């Protein structure tokens, strides 16, 4: 097995090593490309993509908003979503809930009641 068989085996091992190295480089290249160029318009297959609506220009004054919540209600957290929506987490006064405030329009966009 010192002759033709070992030369074929050596050639196969070298070929597989080159394939492994090239495959690893391609995988790293694809990962770097996807990280540096994210896609935000991914939709489920067969679904119609939603129309893109540009956000209105943001200003610093959003006006006043009255939540009309029962007595004993307290704010437990706030999170800004997509620069136009503020999620306000409320507790007490009838249970836990989340109120979504549409900042540019100064109105309540939605309410979520959390059940125990």
pLDDT tens digits, residue range 62-91? 566 677 788 888 888 888 887 788 888 888
**Do residues 86 and 110 lie in contact, with contact meaning Cβ atoms separated by under 8 Å?**
no
Query: What's the rounded Cα separation, in Å, for the pair 92 and 113?
Result: 12
The model carries a pTM of 0.44
pLDDT of residue 4: 76
- The H-assigned helical ranges of the chain are 4-36
- DSSP SS3 for 15: helix
Closest CA to 98 of 64, 106, 81: 81
Residue 116 is predicted with a pLDDT of: 65
């Amino acid at each position: 097995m010192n002759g033709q068989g070992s030369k074929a085996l050596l050639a196969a091992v070298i070929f597989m090593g080159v394939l492994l190295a090239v495959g690893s480089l391609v995988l790293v290249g694809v990962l770097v490309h996807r990280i540096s160029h994210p896609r935000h318009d991914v939709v489920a297959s067969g679904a119609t993509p939603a129309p893109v609506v540009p956000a209105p220009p943001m200003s610093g004054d959003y006006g006043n908003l009255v939540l009309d919540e029962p007595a004993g209600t307290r704010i437990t957290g706030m999170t800004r979503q997509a620069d136009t929506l503020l999620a306000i987490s409320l507790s007490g006064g009838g249970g836990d809930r989340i109120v979504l405030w549409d900042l540019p329009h100064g109105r309540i966009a939605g309410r979520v009641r959390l059940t125990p």
